[in-house]
């Protein structure tokens, strides 16, 4: 008898990952393909879309080969995609005419700045802070660059689906549409006034399709679910529902599900968790989330490796522990300021300082950088708490997934400073797993992924060192002084 499996694909900024799960939700195989690196020049951050597509195809072929070898049939697939990237391609051949402008690209800052006080109205309509990382300004630039109707302009998942469908399908998935600043969060449609604000031809935008719905068949595998990457991570993370999710990848994202309620909070992102089409009635149901992100945490935590201070994350952890044992109060404090995702936001505000006492060792410096990442995340947690999204009940506990969850020192530091319990889950690949679970529940007509996500945590971190709170307070003071020009913005300062 042939076993049924379900494929989840996570197309990210550094790699494309695939996970195969069986009918009970257990992972049976995984695959990783490295993607072309991002090209960064000042505010522009681009990536080769053709290379991203090739990586998705390669994951599909690897999964098919595994299924063939193991007498398994891939019943359905779900695709999770990095959000807010935009590109242009020819309708006739599907060939990209412009590199993908990634979520990290901020070249559209002048457009955002021109809105002035009007930006608040845009945030009210979209549920998003009005910042250049989202797709609207990028769509504006590429529609103006390529005026011909035969040129498609859309987000990354639109391009991938266009090519996987043999150039037959031009649509955008709802969670991706909800991150453009063109989608009305309460209406669930492209908003005419927002399109006018950004000078975008609404007729050229892709039709919006629910997250769970038939999309296309590629290599004999039906693709029945498409999601933004963080949305897929929420669905794919093990653990009981109700806990906040902290996903530590290239960016750090803290997410709380709000069910069928739309909850808007100033400075935070309200978005669609998923939408679902009823097969019989064709009615659309939706669930929502609230999210806060830090775009540089993944980059900063790798800084000691790039500087040659250590070789890998295990040595990173050991150096942090060595510094803490020698000097609990610390002799170095790090700060990397270009992390703000809400006003006041400015792309030029990028001081990068490491404050060290004369006797600071490499271990002290490594610890300062890692704790800096922890401080950014603690700030995210406190903002959620201050706005009523984290409380004293089960929401006091946070589930952690992603590659950054492997760094024990970082998670214990966050727990100590925030006073919250963190649960590191067994799988790092929550996003790909979420795509696979979405495919499973749609193909098998289930209603939720929760019955498949009750695995116990690999490790829990309890707050136990309240003295670390002083480090956080010191960091906040340095931040204030840096942002107000009271300290120089240099690479390294030795007072």
Domain locations in the chain as residue ranges: 3-239, 297-425+459-483
- Please state the pTM of the whole predicted model: 0.89
> What separation in angstroms does the CA of 76 have from each of 10, 21, 185, 221, 359?
15, 11, 29, 6, 58
Note the pLDDT tens digit of each residue in 143-178.
Answer: 999 999 899 999 999 999 999 999 999 999 999 999
Q: CA 462, CA 129: separation in Å to the nearest integer? A: 33
Q: What residue has token string 């490594």? A: 366
Contacts of residue 313, Cβ cutoff 8 Å, sequence gap at least 6 = 406, 407
Asked whether residue 220 carries a pLDDT value surpassing 90, the answer given is yes
| Spatial distance between the Cα atoms of 225 and 232, rounded to a whole number of angstroms | 10
∠429-83-117 over CA atoms, to 5°?
Answer: 135
Q: What is the largest CA-CA distance in the chain?
A: 71
Q: What's the residue count for the chain?
A: 495
In the prediction, which pLDDT does 342 show? 35
* Same topology between domain 3-239 and domain 297-425+459-483: yes
Domain covering 3-239, topology:
Nucleotidyltransferase; domain 5 (3.30.420)
Q: Which of 67-71, 201-205, 488-492 has the lowest mean pLDDT?
A: 488-492
Count other C-beta atoms under 10 Å from residue 451's C-beta: 12
Would you place residue 430 in the very low, low, confident or very high pLDDT band (cuts 50, 70, 90)? confident
Q: Is the pLDDT of residue 493 over 80?
A: no
Q: What are the pLDDT digits (tens) for 458-491?
A: 789 999 888 889 889 988 888 787 777 776 654 4
**Rounded distance between C-alpha atoms, residue 22 and residue 436, angstroms:** 9
Decide which of 3.30.70.580, 3.40.50.2000, 3.30.420.40, 2.60.120.620 is the CATH code for 297-425+459-483. Answer: 3.30.420.40
Q: Number of helices (H) and strands (E), helices first, in the chain?
A: 15, 22
Q: Give the model's pLDDT for residue 427.
A: 67
Site of tokens 């270009």 = 338
Q: In what order do the strands lie in the sheet with 39-41?
A: 39-41, 44-47, 96-101, 86-90, 151-155
What tens digit of pLDDT does each residue of 81-124 get? Answer: 999 999 999 999 999 999 999 998 999 999 999 999 999 999 99
| Average pLDDT rounded to a whole number, residues 442-462 | 78
Give the list of residues 6+ apart from residue 89 with CB closer than 8 angstroms, or none: 49, 95, 96, 97, 151, 152, 159, 162
First-last CA distance in the chain: 71
């Amino acid at each position: 008898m042939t076993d049924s499996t379900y494929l989840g694909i996570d197309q990210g900024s550094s790699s494309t990952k695939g996970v195969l799960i069986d009918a009970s939700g257990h992972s049976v195989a995984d695959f990783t393909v490295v993607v072309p690196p991002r090209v960064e020049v000042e505010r522009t951050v681009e990536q080769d879309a053709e290379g991203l597509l090739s990586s998705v195809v390669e994951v599909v072929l690897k999964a098919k080969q595994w299924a063939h070898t193991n007498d398994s049939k891939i019943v359905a697939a779900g695709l999770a995609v990095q959000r807010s990237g935009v590109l242009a391609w020819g309708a006739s051949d599907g060939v990209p005419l412009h590199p993908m402008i990634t979520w990290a690209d901020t070249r559209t800052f002048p457009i955002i700045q021109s809105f002035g006080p009007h930006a608040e109205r845009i945030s009210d309509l979209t549920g998003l802070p009005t910042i250049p990382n989202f797709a609207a300004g990028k769509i504006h630039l590429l529609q103006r660059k390529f005026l011909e109707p035969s040129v498609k302009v859309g987000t990354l998942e639109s391009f991938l689906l266009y090519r996987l469908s043999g150039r037959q399908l031009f649509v955008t998935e709802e969670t991706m549409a909800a991150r453009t600043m063109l989608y009305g969060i309460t209406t669930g449609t492209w908003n005419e006034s927002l399109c006018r604000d950004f000078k975008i031809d609404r007729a050229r935008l892709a039709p919006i399709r629910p997250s769970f719905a038939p999309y296309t068949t590629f290599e004999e595998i039906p693709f029945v679910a498409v999601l933004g990457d963080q949305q897929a991570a929420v669905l794919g993370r093990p653990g009981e529902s109700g806990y906040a999710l902290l996903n530590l990848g290239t960016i750090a994202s803290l997410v709380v599900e709000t069910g069928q309620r739309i909850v808007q909070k100033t400075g935070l992102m309200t978005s669609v968790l998923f939408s679902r089409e009823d097969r019989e009635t064709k009615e659309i149901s939706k669930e929502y989330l609230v999210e806060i992100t830090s775009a540089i945490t993944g980059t900063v935590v790798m800084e000691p490796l790039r500087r040659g201070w250590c070789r890998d994350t295990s040595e990173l952890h050991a150096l942090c522990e060595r510094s803490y044992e020698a000097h609990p109060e610390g002799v170095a404090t790090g700060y990397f300021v270009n992390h703000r995702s809400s006003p006041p936001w400015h792309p030029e505000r990028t001081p990068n300082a490491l404050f060290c006492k004369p006797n600071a060792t490499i271990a002290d410096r490594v610890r300062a950088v890692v704790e800096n990442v922890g401080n950014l995340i603690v700030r995210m947690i406190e903002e959620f708490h201050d706005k009523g999204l984290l409380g004293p009940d089960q929401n006091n506990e946070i589930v952690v997934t992603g590659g950054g969850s492997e760094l024990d020192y970082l998670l214990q530091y966050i727990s100590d400073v925030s006073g919250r319990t963190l649960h590191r889950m067994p799988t790092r690949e929550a996003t790909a797993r979420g795509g696979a679970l979405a495919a499973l529940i749609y193909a098998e007509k289930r209603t939720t992924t929760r019955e498949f996500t009750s695995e116990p945590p690999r490790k829990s971190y309890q707050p136990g060192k309240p003295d670390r709170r002083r480090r956080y307070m010191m960091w906040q003071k340095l931040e204030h002084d840096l942002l107000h020009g009271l300290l120089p913005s240099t690479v390294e300062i030795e007072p």
